A = this chain, B = another copy of it.
Amino acid sequence: MVRNYKLTLAYDGTEFAGWQVQPQHSTIQGALADAIARITGERLLPQGSGRTDAGVHALAQVASFAIESPIPAENLLVALNHTLPASIRAIRIEEAAPDFHARHSAKAKSYEYRIFRASICPPFVARYVHHHPFPLDEDAMLRAACFVIGKHDFTSFAAVDPERGKDGEEPDNMRTIYSSEWQREGDLLIYRVRGNGFLHHMVRNLVGTFLLVGKASIKPDCIPALLAARSRSETGPTAPASGLFLASVEY
């Protein structure tokens, strides 16, 4: 009998080349596939809710996979944490409906982007933040963040991917953002965003653009025009991967 599982993972992405398996590179998906194979003898490719890029972390990424092994779920969780490197932890596992798919079944996702504001960044924090100790108008950044709430074409904030749209079809870059805000927690300035889906580099490009707002290079109320332009060249640089966390996936 084949059982389908929903697995929730946390990982420190610093030393991985991202989620997706790649030859010659250490990846989260690859490490998870290896661990499942070591435990069950079954070689398969677990599906993630989406790819995270090299250096991006996860508080709660979700993966799905189907195995024949009769190992009870709670034992599989323990075995995964014995087998995976300490930088990847299996934090929850549950049997899922046969048609559950971590990516196709996802209804919403939340990300966090952490900026460390104090002048000296403790070495125990440096891997998990973007250190930006220079002046920022944080109120302006919060005002700018509000403008992306709702249903928009996010082409201006998507990585320019030479492979997409090659067949002549326009990619569908419409996404709905349910919440988008900056919050201060001590020395951390955290961007939290929740939406029905995100384009490649979208959160980091939004953050890079909000940083331009914080530096007064652009005004908060320019965001609607940047969205309307549907051009990546108008928006800010991609913020560093180290500050980004996939926070949760909803089904």
User: Which of A83-91, A157-165, A226-234 lies on the face that meets chain B?
Assistant: A83-91
Which of B12, B120, B123 has a CB less than 8 Å from the CB of A123? B12
A128, B124: Cβ atoms closer than 8 Å: yes
The answer, yes or no, to whether A5 is at the interface (CB within 8 Å) is no
- Stoichiometry, as copies per complex, reads 2
Chain B residues with Cβ under 8 A from A127's Cβ?
86, 124
Q: Is A122 close to B, CB under 8 A?
A: yes
What B residues does A122 contact at CB under 8 A? 10, 89
Contact A124 B12 (CB under 8 A): yes
Contact check, B57 vs A87: say whether CB atoms are below 8 A apart.
no
Q: Does A37 contact B (CB under 8 A)?
A: no
A11 at the binding interface (Cβ < 8 Å)? yes
Q: Is the CB of A126 within 8 A of B91?
A: no
Chain B residues lying within 8 Å of A120, measured Cβ to Cβ, are 81, 89-91
Judge if A121 is at the interface, Cβ distance under 8 Å: yes
User: 1/0 per residue A66-110: CB within 8 Å of B?
Assistant: 000000000000000100001111110000000000000000000
Which one of B10, B11, B90, B121 contacts A89 once the chains associate, using CB atoms below 8 Å?
B121
CA distance A151 to B10 in the complex (A): 46
Alpha-carbon distance A124/B90, docked complex (angstroms): 13
A89 to B124, CA, bound (A): 10
| Minimum Cβ distance to chain B for residue A99 (Å) | 28
Q: Which chain B residues lie closer than 8 Å to A81 at the CB level?
A: 120
In the complex, chain A residues 111-126 whose Cβ is within 8 Å of any chain B Cβ? 120-124, 126
Tell me which residues across on chain B come within 8 A of A124, comparing CB atoms.
10, 12, 57, 127-128
Supplied contacts A86-B127, A87-B123, 13 more A-B pairs, CB within 8 Å: A12-B123, A12-B126, A57-B123, A57-B124, A81-B120, A86-B121, A86-B131, A87-B126, A88-B123, A89-B120, A89-B121, A124-B127, A124-B128
